[in-house]
Amino acid sequence: MPVDHSQCTDDYARYGLRVRGLNDYLNRSDLSMQTSNISDLCQGDALIIVDVQNDFLPGGALGVSQGDQVVPLLNHYIQYFRKAELPVYATRDWHPSDHCSFTAQGGIWPPHCIADSEGAQFPPGLLIPANSLIVSKATTRNQDAYSGFQGTCLAQQLRSAGVRRVFIGGLATDYCVLNTVKDALKEGFHVVLLKDAIRAVNLNPGDGNRAIQEMIGLGAATQQLEGLAG
Ligand SMILES: [Zn+2]
């Protein structure tokens, strides 16, 4: 089973992740000059899968239209990271049953992703590597978190693992992907948005496209599998 790192720990060696040395770090000073090509991954890169959970798939409590279509695409990206022996992170909504974002508590969403429920699980078709780091967010009643960085140790975990560039995909484009990308940029990481492996809620028509433009405007590069070999 993947490891839940909600409780911060620096013990990365246990999970087989390589922490880059200083020389490696210095050699990457030209990182921003490189293309954001998924087939050109190197040390310092990580994949972040955002909230691909049963409740966010079609038929789920808060299903995102076509949300299931990201699963096979993310599996392809996961393969690239596995081959390159680079770390994979997966965030998840992990709410108490009386969470503040639920309508009964005055929030705007139906109950979803209640901790340990079936709806909160990752879909079985998503091939998350066994040594992936799982980041649970919005785990307390009074706090919501669209971003995987909000109220979690994700930034610290990435830095401890020597990560400088993050490739981000998942659900949903206009909420948790958008906010995770914005926080990753704020934290100083290079960001590559996996443009084919995201889907939007589109509560207002065009929200997804506006979110993509906002992320690009803030400095995110984009990447998609189409046209890549292998
Ligand atoms: Zn939520």
Which CATH number belongs to the domain containing residue 135 in this structure? 3.40.50.850
The candidate with the shortest Cα–Cα distance to 162, out of 34, 21, 56, 4, is 21
Q: What separation in Å is there between the alpha carbon of 23 and the centre of ligand 1?
A: 40
- Condensed to tens digits (0 to 9), the pLDDT of residues 81-106 reads 999 999 999 999 999 999 999 999 99
Q: How far apart are CA 56 and CA 126, in angstroms?
A: 13
pLDDT at residue 181 tops 80: yes
Residue 186 annotated in active site: no
The CB density around residue 97, as the number of other CB atoms within 10 Å, is 11
The CB density around residue 88, as the number of other CB atoms within 10 Å, is 23
- Condensed to tens digits (0 to 9), the pLDDT of residues 10-34 reads 433 333 333 333 334 334 444 443 4
What does each C-alpha distance from 15 to 9, 79, 177 come to in angstroms?
A: 11, 18, 26
Tally the domains of the chain: 1
Percent share of the chain, pLDDT over 90: 80
pLDDT on residue 3: 53
The residue whose two tokens read 């909420």 is 175
Q: What separation in Å is there between the alpha carbon of 122 and the centre of ligand 1?
A: 14
Residue 51 annotated in active site: yes
User: Is residue 100 a part of any domain in this protein?
Assistant: yes
Active-site hit among 45, 68, 137, 174: 137
Range of the domain at 76: 3-7+41-223
User: pTM (2 decimals)?
Assistant: 0.86
Residue 153 annotated in active site: no
